[in-house]
Amino acid sequence: MNKEQVELLQKLRALEFTAIDLNLFLDTHPECQEALHDYNRIVKELADVRCAYEAKFGPTLNFGLSESKMGWRWIDGPWPWQAGY
């Protein structure tokens, strides 16, 4: 995995973690407008970063949630638990 891929992946991971944490917070604070606003903003940012990552490094999601434009790249390694990911 080259430097660019590592950096984009880290950006994706950070944004998605923010989304996970806001999601859980909203589950018990559904009336909080500030958290809802943040969540919706992160969803957009996350979609942009995912798009940029996948255009270069292949799909991050299976079952129809990510396009695989340059051949079927879902089967490409490394997988997330492997060294070099």
Partner 1 sequence: MWIYEKKLEYPVRVCRPNPRLAKDVITQYGGPDGELSASLRYLTQRYTMPTNQAIATLTDIGTEELAHMEIVAALVYQLVKDAPLHQIIEAGLDGYFSDHDRAVFWVNSEGVPWTAAYVQSKGDPIADLHEDMAAEEKARATYENLINLSDDPDVTDVLRFLRAREVVHFQRFGETLMRVQDYLQCKKVY
Residues within the interface to partner 1 (CB under 8 A): 9-10, 12-13, 16-17, 20-21, 23-25, 27-30, 59-63, 65, 74, 79-81, 83, 85
16 neighbors 22 (Cβ within 8 angstroms)? no
Distance CA 16, CA 31 (A): 22
Q: Which amino acid is at 30?
A: P
Least Å from the CB of residue 71 to partner 1: 16
Give the residue with the Cβ less far from partner 1, 10 or 41. Answer: 10
Least Å from the CB of residue 50 to partner 1: 10
Residue entry with tokens 């970063």: 49
66 neighbors 60 (Cβ within 8 angstroms)? yes
Least Å from the CB of residue 61 to partner 1: 6
